[in-house]
Amino acid sequence: MPQRHSKKNNNDLAFFTYDEKRKLGYGTQKERLGKDSIKPFDALSLLKPFIEPMSCLKGHVYCKECILECLLAQKKDIQSFMLKLVLLAGK
């Protein structure tokens, strides 16, 4: 007896059909990004001219002074955060 073709089992294509995407919920998840996940407009360091241009082995070009400045700012932020943790732990 020959097998019947099932219309529900249509996963033999190399791509998803519209109905398969809809059933999976493809592209329906939405997420609003908070203010903390987006850089402020004045923090766009790529718009500044290079002061001391450097490049890595992969060819990414960056400003050495800007990178060092950013690392120092991050280090200060980490130190202040650690100080807050110590103060909270002491309470």
* Res 52: pLDDT: 87
Per-residue pLDDT of the chain (91 residues; tens, 9 = 90+): 566 666 665 567 777 788 888 888 767 777 777 777 666 655 555 566 788 888 889 888 888 888 888 899 999 999 999 999 999 887 6
In a domain, 5, yes or no: no
In a domain, 69, yes or no: yes
In a domain, 11, yes or no: no
In a domain, 22, yes or no: no
Q: Are 63 and 53 in contact (CB under 8 A)?
A: yes
Residue 50's closest CA among 71, 65, 69, 68?
Answer: 65
- Boundaries of domain holding 66: 51-91
* Res 3: pLDDT: 64
In a domain, 70, yes or no: yes
- Indicate the number of domains in the chain: 1
In a domain, 37, yes or no: no
Q: How far apart are CA 34 and CA 13, in angstroms?
A: 39
* Res 83: pLDDT: 94
* Res 91: pLDDT: 67
* Res 28: pLDDT: 73
